[in-house]
Homo-oligomer: A and B are copies of this chain.
Amino acid sequence: MEFSSKLLEKAVNEMAQLPGIGKRTALRLVLHLLKQPKERTSFLSQALTTMREEVQYCSSCHNISDTALCAICANPKREHQLVCVVEDIRDVMAIENTGQFRGIYHVLGGKISPIDGVGPSQLNISSLVEKVKLGGVEEIIFALSSTMEGDTTNFYIYKQIADSGILTSTIARGISVGDELEYADEVTLGRSIVQRVPFEKSLRG
């Protein structure tokens, strides 16, 4: 791609470093900004810079927060003995959205993935183990994605806290509510039969 302006080229190249944004899309976005009032661009730049500079993470669960302790951890009505372990803050948002969970979270910040060079020390695992050791936690729910990396991470944490004697669980895997059985993948369908739940219990949800 040949640019008629170095300024334009630099803006496009920076934009194209974002994941999933190719050079063509970056050019389209930048040309859109050029057609908008200058304030549009300065608002965007300012919002990004301020966020990156001033963002804080909850000292307890590592969720993104504007306060030292996030709103969930600071809420006395949440069940602080029930900790849901998730990969990143999008998972917190998704679970909060269901309105079905009254416990607190622990955000790992990723999954153990040797291929991507992510080891246990780069994740917020030690603070979770510490929290368990201090007492007060009764159950850990693993809510990572069911991939090789997710399973590895679950197992790594499980080994560290196994002798504390607290309950550990993982979120249920099965056929999505409303899905047709014939279109489900076999692993999910198989697991949903092996891990079937008593009928009376299914009526509650």
A27: nearest residue on chain B (CB-CB)? B90
Most buried by B among A4, A27, A51, A89: A4
Distance (whole angstroms) from the CB of A185 to the closest CB of chain B: 23
| Chain B residues, CB < 8 A from A38 | 52-53
Distance (whole angstroms) from the CB of A43 to the closest CB of chain B: 6
A45: nearest residue on chain B (CB-CB)? B45
Contact A4 B89 (CB under 8 A): yes
DSSP majority for the A interface?
A: helix
> Is the interface on chain A under 10, 10 to 19, 20 to 34, or 35 or more residues?
35 or more
Q: Is A65 an interface residue (CB 8 A)?
A: yes
Which residues of A line the B interface, CB within 8 A?
1-8, 10-11, 13-15, 17-21, 25, 27-34, 38, 40-56, 58, 63-66, 70-72, 88-90, 92-93, 96-97
